[in-house]
A and B are shown apart, each in its own frame.
Chain A
Amino acid sequence: MKKLILITGIATLIYACSGSSENKTSDTAAAETATATETPEEKQAADARGIGKFTNVEVGETLDAAMADAGTKVYDVKCASCHKLTDEKLVGPGWKDVTKRRTAEWIMNFSTNTDEMLEKDAEAQAMLEICMVRMPNQNLSDEDARTVYEFMRKNDGIK
């Protein structure tokens, strides 16, 4: 009997998943298939990049100061309401050392592909359980996201 319930449960889950993925692009479906064939190490690396278009962000050894300044402006308008620059959690986590905790890809994917990340990315979901407020999709352009990342690097002491 228990087994039956379990099977039914799994079936329901599968059904629910297939139902929700109906609306997704075939690219995502292809990516999911691809990750299934990766080695555990590769999978871990992929997970660390999050879900979204950014798979390989080029980051310089030194700070791009102009880019970081542009990032400050985006931060003031779209991010500062919830994220402090210290390690203090406000609505969302403080940004101190965020570039050491997360990859550039994960941060940029989360800030531009917020809803899908909250639905599928385990790390993003873990943060949601702590913060209890879904990170708003603030409609950052790809460029905005990159400048904000550079601003985070500056905040983390990169010169």
Chain B
Amino acid sequence: MSTKLNNYLTILTAMGLLAVIANGCKPKNVSSATSGDGAEKAYVAPGKYDEFYNFVSGGFSGQMSVYGLPSGRLFRVIPVFSVDPEKGYGYSEESKPMLNTSHGFVPWDDLHHIALSETDGIHDGRWAFANGNNTPRIARVDLKTFRTAEIIEIPNSAGNHSSPFITENSEYVIAGTRFSVPMGSNTDVPISTYKQNFKGTVSFISVDKNNGAMSIAFQVLLPGVNFDLARAGKGKSHGWMFFSCYNSERANTLLEVNSSQKDKDFIMAVNWKKAEEYLAQGKGQKQTVAYAHNVYNEKTHSATSTIERTVTVLDPKDCPDMVYLMPCPKSPHGCDTDPTGEYIVGSGKLAAVIPVFSFTKFQKAIADKTFDGDYEGLPVLKYDAVLHGEVKKPGLGPLHTEFDANGNAYTSFFVSSEVVKWRISDLQVLDRVPTYYSVGHLCVPGGPTKKPWGKYMIAYNKITKDRYLPTGPELTQSAQLFDISGDKMKLILDFPTIGEPHYAEAIPADLISKNSTKIYKIEENENPYAAKGEKEAKVERKGNEVHVYMTSIRSHFVPDNIEGVKLGDVVYFHVTNLEQDWDVPHGFAVKGANNAELLIMPGETQTLAWKPDRTGVFPMYCTDFCSALHQEMQGYIRVSPASANVPLTFSTNKAPESAK
């Protein structure tokens, strides 16, 4: 490269950088500064409760976090798809099966979206569903315990992004595959045979209305495009599910360029009530697959993992009138239905307009057969025939849309880093605010339901830059809270979040707080290793396994002196917390354990496996400050050589008892 060109490039780069800095540091206009009464509006006095819970996806942390609104205070990080040594999740013997998959134990995933359960299209505060993107899974979190209750793996899927979106009576949670992949008996094919061999699926997971239990009711086999996001119809459009699709080019390399060729991709509409009819008629094909189904039992305080072997697949070729495509400009991302169920908002990532589709026109176009050919055998409706209208010049890079109860929509714009409020009826832009920086998902409490609770909007940003004190190369993620009670959106708070926040939902606090579990009743503990009272504390040897049935209460363990463990043994500490009072967990840790601690809730039993690697006396102690004498809550376990004849004994404050 010539020196001259090099210099020129340097100058250009410097200019570009300056522009970015100038743009980044300067507020774009006066309204971008927090409004005068912002602090007051976001302030929740010490000891007072927030008005809303905000359930926020943790992105590549794999977890779900719970914040209060409007304060932005973090209450809890719920471990879902990733191990959490702090809580022993994925480390205790009881919780390990939760992370089992057909690939074995997978300790991490990428959690993108939240779907709160609904009854009649309104939040009912029972469960929060979440997707694992990387190794396709759907999780159900119980909102009484704020714990992951169930995880189901999705077969015939890769990159479970178009998930989990929920129907208005929680009939189904859906899971659509982002990556199309080869399926069936021969999946070892050249990548270049994408167009012949790669297929996509969307899965309909039924939810038991009494206990939330999930089951894959059916999958729909589809052309090999990428499924991105989805929303259920509601009200008049209940019974339909809408999915955004991109890569209708079906490229398998450099998608950045190659899947951005066509002017329009699709919003796909699936009539799931029709699908149910076909299923009842036996139109589904049973396929042999393998997927893990993991369930946590609150009585035994243990998870079980079962590998399931069949899934029923519906092929639209055998099921007419079940799937239709609506053309949507430029690689649509968001696909959001408004509270009435009449409007479906598509957001082409590269589009300069926001197309809004009308469900009434969609139905008419189907009745009138206003088709524009087909795509891989699926009927394509004419764009103009299904369009309510376009929001003109809204901004650059529309991504996601949420709604309030007054007929307004809020759309995020990644490229122009702003949120735009517009009116659905006449598609007029009403207001716009900048975000810091590059906003992704939005959340209005109840925004995806028939009954938005409104009041606030939260923007979950993709880039933080100079927003907080710097912490080296890696920065916290950032959310911004806006007051939307007036005509103008007003920024009232910035708050940091864990992982990378994608979608989030918010729900009035009293729909959940009143049902919160405080303790597990010790009388109902059915863990086979529970010690219900110190009388039941004991140590047993089974071959080279030593089982310690241990109790904890403020502030001692029984037993707290154990001898006779031999090198080569595996020691299972089954610790039962005898407390029956709210907020009195005990912890348990032993020196040199190659895993984590246990954190045991009142009335619960949890198990830590420990394989000592040397002889000696090892301390064990309570890790969660429990009383004034917490520092006294400790014990010793002695490990002798394999050949030693030290008898296995245990005790607390008395002569050692012999183990069985």
Contact = CB atoms under 8 A, between A and B. Distances in A.
A114 to B, nearest CB: 8
A77 B533 contact: yes
Contacts of B519: 139
A27 interface: no
A34 interface: no
Contacts of B579: 136, 138
A132 B628 contact: yes
A114 B628 CA distance: 17
B553 interface: yes
A138 B580 contact: yes
Given A80-B533, A132-B629, A139 B580 contact: yes
Interface stretch (B307-315, B322-330, B332-340, B554-562): B554-562
Contact of B534 (A81, A133, A137, A139): A81
Interface string A108-143: 000000100000000000000000111011110000
B535 A80 contact: yes
Contacts of A77: 522-523, 532-533, 578
B584 A81 contact: no
Given A133-B627, A139-B519, A78 B580 contact: yes
B440 to A, nearest CB: 41
B581 A137 contact: yes
A80 B554 contact: no
Nearest to A128: B628
B551 interface: yes
A80 to B, nearest CB: 6
Contact of A76 (B521, B533, B581, B629): B533
A138 B603 CA distance: 10
A82 B553 contact: yes
Given A132-B629, A133-B555, A136-B554, A78 B522 contact: yes
B554 A78 contact: no
Contacts of B522: 77-78
Nearest to A82: B553
Interface residues of A, number: 16
Contacts of A136: 553-554, 579-581, 584
Interface in B603-651: 627-629
Contact of A78 (B558, B578, B653): B578
A70 interface: no
Contacts of B578: 77-78, 81
Interface in A74-109: 76-78, 80-82, 90-91
Contact of A81 (B551, B581, B627, B628): B551
Interface in B321-378: none
A124 to B, nearest CB: 16
Contact of A133 (B535, B551, B558, B629): B629
Interface residues of B, number: 23
A80 B628 CA distance: 20
Contact of A134 (B523, B533, B627): B627
Nearest to A115: B581
A118 to B, nearest CB: 12
Interface in B507-530: 519, 521-523
Given A78-B522, A81-B553, A138 B628 contact: no
Given A91-B554, A136-B553, A137-B581, A78 B628 contact: no
B585 to A, nearest CB: 12
Nearest to A77: B533
A67 B367 CA distance: 75
Contacts of A138: 579-581
A82 to B, nearest CB: 7
Contacts of B521: 139
A159 B582 CA distance: 37
Interface in B537-561: 551, 553-556, 558
A45 B593 CA distance: 56
Given A81-B578, A138-B581, A139-B580, A133 B554 contact: yes
Contacts of B580: 78, 136-139
Given A136-B579, A137-B580, A81 B532 contact: no
A62 B551 CA distance: 35
Nearest to B584: A136
B536 to A, nearest CB: 8
A159 to B, nearest CB: 25
Contacts of A76: 532-535
Contacts of A114: 581
Contacts of B533: 76-78, 80-81
A115 to B, nearest CB: 8
Contacts of A139: 519, 521, 580-581
Contacts of B534: 76, 80-81
A69 B535 CA distance: 16
Contacts of B553: 81-82, 136
Given A133-B628, A139-B581, A91 B555 contact: yes
A128 to B, nearest CB: 10
A136 B579 CA distance: 7
A41 to B, nearest CB: 35
A138 B556 CA distance: 16
Contacts of B523: 77
A132 B627 CA distance: 9
Given A134-B554, A136-B580, A138-B580, 20 more contacts: A76-B532, A76-B533, A78-B578, A78-B580, A81-B553, A82-B553, A82-B554, A90-B653, A91-B556, A132-B629, A133-B554, A134-B627, A136-B553, A136-B554, A137-B581, A138-B579, A138-B581, A139-B521, A139-B580, A139-B581
- In order of increasing CB-CB distance, the 6 nearest A-B pairs are A139-B580, A77-B533, A76-B533, A137-B581, A81-B553, A138-B580
Interface of A: 76-78, 80-82, 90-91, 114, 132-134, 136-139
Interface of B: 519, 521-523, 532-535, 551, 553-556, 558, 578-581, 584, 627-629, 653
6 contacts: A80-B533, A82-B554, A90-B653, A133-B554, A134-B627, A139-B581
